[in-house]
Structure 1
Amino acid sequence: MTGDRNHEANGAKARRSTIRDVAAQAGVSVATVSRVLAGSHPVSEQLRAKVLRVVREVDYVTNAHAKSLAGAGQLSIAMLIGDITGASFAHAAKGVEQEAASRGSLTLVGSTDLDPAREAAMVNLMREQGAGAVILIGGASDLAEHQQRMARYAKSLNAAGSHLVLCGRPPLPPEVPAITVDYDNEGGAFAMTSHLLSAGHRRILILPGVEGYTTASIRLAGYTRALEAYGMSVEPDLVVHTTYEYGEGARAVRQALERGVEFTAVFAGSDVVAAGALEALRSAGLRVPEDVSLAGYDDIPLARDLTPKLTTVHVPYEEIGRSAARLALEREPGVRGEHKHVVLGTHVVVRQSVAPPPR
């Protein structure tokens, strides 16, 4: 009898958990579990956290859709973007879609709104739907927690025959079965700051991005390293954290001017932020680059449309997207390999918005 019970227990453990198992253990209806996983209907944060905790505990996934996709001979790629309105992310998404289409694969796009709980639900849903790969595009906050969360995603997707691909996010430990396609973010910021320093600027206002976010932290590190190479140190009043929105660039520069902060150049963490900074400088009666130089980051088409044309850091976003899709689709399904990390280069694009400081 003991052997039979052990056999039954092992069989139950091997059995794939169902949505009914999740509902029963969480004490909610099947419909509620579906709503939480889909993220399509509002539920309380407490209820959502409870359901997602049970999902992780029982490692819930269904492969019905995966079987149908496999039967059609077609893999899908799911792109999950923090902010779907971001211009740079849109170019990365374009690269993913183009590469996937050239290989006969479908591309699904979703927005996480930078919400970790929503991200977790969407990753699980894509795993449930049988996506061949899940690509997460954009930076992350709280690095330690992010590393743990990504490792869970990677192992869960790998167990289901899928892959996790990170774009523009910090790489994971070598033993985690995932792919990271990154760009030399710090090197780009170092090169641009060095370009401004070599032009004679010594007080450079930097707007690196959201404080505590990996993208901003790395760009600030590049800025700091360039200053140190010139025997200088960071002055706190010259560092202003913002989101990557147009209005934030204008607000940051306007407030710096109102506080009486002295600067001869502005290094914006994105071209969109640089455009907002340009508006604020002009509203204050300052000319670019005659009075204040201006630099951006990303090299999206907007950089060439501004007057003057914007000196910026080129990031190969479309190639990042193409590489992410190619590596995911070429990797053998279910392979329990180590973490693969690819880094693409960045470089300064010199245009018309930087000049020596006024004497």
Structure 2
Amino acid sequence: MTDSRKSGPGRKATLHAVAERAGVSLATASRALTGTYPVAPATKARVTEAAAELGYVRGKRVTDSDHRFPTVAVIAHDIRQDFLVEIVSGVEHIVTGAGHFCLVGSTGYDTATEFAMLDALVDDPAIEGVIVAGGVYDSEVYRDGVRKQAQRYAEQQVPLVFCGRPGVDGAPVRTVNYDQAGGAASAVSHLLSQGHRRIAYIRGPEGFSTSEGRTAGYYSALASFDIPIDERIIKSGERVRATGYQATRELLDERADITAIFAESDHIATGALAAIRDAGLSVPGDISVIGFDDLSLAQETWPPLTTVHLPFSELGRAAARLVLSPPAPGSGRNSPVFGTHLVIRESVRSLW
């Protein structure tokens, strides 16, 4: 099988194309060209010849201006966030194993910064592909920008992958995502199965893709039990501990008569736990709490938090594989969706 991606104006062939032309793995091709690992002379000659035939140019190595290293870039909102660290770790596991560098940049949730990074990376001959990780604030400006960026990446034969965010209609972008709505529905359904009917929801900001997906799951679970939506017990804010604390205090002050809280994220859930404790109540004795993400902190709260587990590291690995070994168009492998599962701990009690 040969690589269908050909060198276009302003863009050299990819390492993937060189590897296929030479009949070797990506890792072997990279090592043969960089000289950082021993490779059989005949194999190195075959790879070098393929690179010359295709006009392959490697990225610039910082420590040696005479060599270049292929790089996969990851663009994220804030790499200090637990789940993004896990995604990046998954990406690194795959790309470094293939002899690549992993370049990571943060945008601070600024779309203009994200687009500026995409602009710069597409023309860098070192870049073998770009992964954009994490949710996004949806808008027509954002969608138009993605369509333009994605078209440019497609023309340059540079893989562009969205990880943990949906694609945009009309934009040739590969996506790796997970079942946001299904995960939220399973969390709320668990509470319902335990006899809870007044289930408050503390969500993230309006218009944020992650929050909208999980909100859809909350609504669908209540609908499946014929329970009407009560907007008075739905609170929104940033996806941080402070939001969970403030929203829970408001719910308690308003005497919302709730028996459970579904928090959109584990960080929000930890705030809810603290607010309930500070009000002199207990979890799950007085109010049950369930989170989403299954970050490491979920096992360290008191009580340990029941939550929805997401395979963040595997998401990163899948995104990296889409960059390094893009599946053929129409193969059905360009947009994998991962499932979630509920992790039962000690923060939910049965009312039966």
| Category of TM-score, reference length = shorter chain | 0.7 to 0.9
Q: Say whether the 8 Å CA contact 1:178–1:338 is kept in structure 2.
A: no
1:250 corresponds in structure 2 to 245
Q: Structure 1 stretches (4+) deviating beyond 6 angstroms?
A: 335-339
Distance 1:193 1:217 in 2: 15
Alignment deviations for residues 191-235 of structure 1 (CA, whole Å, 9 cap, x no partner): 111000010111111112111111111101101001000011210
The amino acid that maps onto 1:307 is W
1:155-174 mapped onto 2 (5 Å cutoff): 155-173=151-169
1:55-134 mapped onto 2 (5 Å cutoff): 67-69=57-59, 74-130=69-125, 131-134=127-130
1:322 corresponds in structure 2 to 317
1:1-359 mapped onto 2 (5 Å cutoff): 67-69=57-59, 74-130=69-125, 131-173=127-169, 176-331=171-326, 340-357=334-351
Unaligned runs of 5+ in 2: 1-7, 11-55, 61-65
Q: Say whether the 8 Å CA contact 2:265–2:291 is kept in structure 1.
A: yes
Alignment deviations for residues 112-144 of structure 1 (CA, whole Å, 9 cap, x no partner): 111111111011111232311111111112254
2:22 corresponds in structure 1 to none
Q: Say whether the 8 Å CA contact 2:263–2:291 is kept in structure 1.
A: yes
Shift of 1:320: 0.1
Q: Say whether the 8 Å CA contact 1:177–1:337 is kept in structure 2.
A: no
Alignment deviations for residues 255-306 of structure 1 (CA, whole Å, 9 cap, x no partner): 2222222211111111111111111110001101111001000011111111
DSSP-derived class of the 1:110 partner: strand
Unaligned runs of 5+ in 1: 1-13, 17-65
User: Normalising by structure 2, what TM-score?
Assistant: 0.78
DSSP-derived class of the 1:341 partner: coil
Distance 1:342 1:147 in 2: 21
For the structure 1 residues 152 and 225, does the alpha-carbon distance in structure 2 shift closer, same or farther, using more than 3 Å as the test?
A: same
Q: How many residues align?
A: 294
Deviates most, 129-138 or 313-322: 129-138
The amino acid that maps onto 2:306 is T
For the structure 1 residues 15 and 319, does the alpha-carbon distance in structure 2 shift closer, same or farther, using more than 3 Å as the test?
A: closer
Distance 1:128 1:257 in 2: 54
Q: Say whether the 8 Å CA contact 1:303–1:309 is kept in structure 2.
A: yes
Deviates most, 310-319 or 128-137: 128-137
DSSP-derived class of the 1:240 partner: strand
The amino acid that maps onto 1:69 is G
Shift of 1:248: 1.4
Shift of 1:179: 1.0
Distance 1:89 1:243 in 2: 17
Distance 2:83 2:310 in 1: 9
Cα RMSD, aligned residues only? 2.4
Between structures 1 and 2, the one with greater helix share? 1
Shift of 1:329: 0.6
User: Normalising by structure 1, what TM-score?
Assistant: 0.77
